[in-house]
């Protein structure tokens, strides 16, 4: 699938796909196979993600961050995969939940190991979607800040398992809560984040100050107090592959 290069070409963007989790909730399926390599409609989840990301202008490299345990399976997959831009596999060295870096830690690891000094798009490796990211990309180009695509899940119960957002206006974040016990909203993060180069550099400051290195939502919560964060709401079908049930739904309903 070729990347679009006409009207919106500009500064280069590096994509970081975070795939270093251990997915214990999906055992035994994910005991030996990493969740992003589970197949949906004939392709691994991560392959669907990369193909959608590479539809965006300016994305000239994809960094897939995995761990020591699953580096082998990812290496085998990447040998045979074909993409329209270079895809590089990085091993964060972790072997269990006890020594994992967390998603934010893995993004910083990817930036350092990949020598990234550009804008970035971060995508969680268990996200499955078939819609274009162009509208969120355009908002990112307009704001040159931070843009987090959103989805109205229409269920407070389901929202408890995800990052929820309260908007100050149509697009600007007022609050972000990671897995809130009592969500104030059913608007959830899609696990996709655009960061302007200077905003991405703040991840280092965030981690150096001893903040939580786990989900990216914690960084957004910290960032909202210092800068503007924007959302863009999507209404198409989206799958968060966190449970067996959601994987079964994706295998049944996902349309590439």
- C-beta of residue 69 within 8 angstroms of C-beta of residue 95: yes
Is residue 2 very low, low, confident or very high in pLDDT (cuts 50, 70, 90)? Answer: very low
pLDDT tens digit sequence for 61-117: 999 999 999 999 999 999 999 999 999 999 999 998 889 999 999 999 999 999 999
CB atoms within 10 A of CB 23: 20
Q: What is the mean pLDDT of residues 228-255?
A: 93
Q: What is the mean pLDDT of residues 151-179?
A: 90
CB atoms within 10 A of CB 168: 12
Percent of the chain predicted with pLDDT > 70: 96
Residues paired with residue 16 on neighbouring β-strands, in sequence order? 63, 122
Question: How far, in Å, CA of 58 to CA of 51, rounded?
Answer: 14
Instruction: Output the pLDDT for position 28.
Output: 87
Give Cβ neighbours of residue 81 (< 8 Å, ≥ 6 apart).
47, 87
Predicted confidence (pLDDT) at residue 214 exceeds the cutoff of 50: yes
- C-beta of residue 73 within 8 angstroms of C-beta of residue 34: yes
For residue 190, give the DSSP letter. -
Instruction: Output the pLDDT for position 10.
Output: 54
Instruction: Output the pLDDT for position 68.
Output: 97
Q: What are the chain's domains? A: 13-144+191-211+239-253 (3.90.550.10)
pLDDT tens digit sequence for 11-51: 899 999 999 998 878 888 888 899 999 999 999 999 999 99
């Amino acid at each position: 699938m070729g990347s679009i290069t006409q009207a919106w070409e500009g500064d280069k963007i590096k994509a970081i796909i975070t795939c270093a989790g251990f997915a214990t909730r999906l055992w035994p399926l994910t005991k030996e196979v990493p969740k992003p390599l589970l197949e949906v409609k004939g392709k691994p989840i991560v392959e669907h993600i990369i193909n959608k990301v590479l539809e965006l202008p300016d994305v000239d490299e994809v960094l897939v961050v995995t761990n020591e345990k699953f580096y082998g399976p990812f290496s085998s997959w990447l040998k045979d995969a074909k993409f329209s831009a270079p895809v590089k596999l990085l091993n964060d060295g972790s072997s269990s939940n006890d020594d994992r870096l967390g998603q934010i830690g893995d993004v910083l690891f990817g930036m350092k190991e990949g020598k990234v000094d550009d804008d970035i798009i971060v995508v969680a490796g268990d996200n499955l979607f078939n819609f274009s990211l162009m509208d969120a990309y355009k908002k990112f180009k307009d704001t040159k800040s931070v843009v987090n695509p959103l989805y109205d899940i229409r269920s407070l119960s389901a929202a408890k398992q995800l990052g929820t957002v309260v908007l100050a206006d149509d697009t600007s974040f007022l609050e972000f809560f990671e897995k809130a016990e009592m969500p104030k909203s059913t608007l959830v993060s899609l696990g996709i984040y655009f960061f302007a180069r200077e905003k991405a550099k703040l991840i280092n400051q965030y981690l150096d100050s001893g903040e939580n290195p786990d989900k990216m939502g914690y960084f957004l919560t910290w960032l909202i107090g210092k800068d503007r964060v924007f959302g863009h709401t999507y209404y198409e079908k989206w799958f968060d592959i966190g449970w067996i049930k959601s994987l079964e739904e994706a295998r049944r309903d996902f349309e590439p």
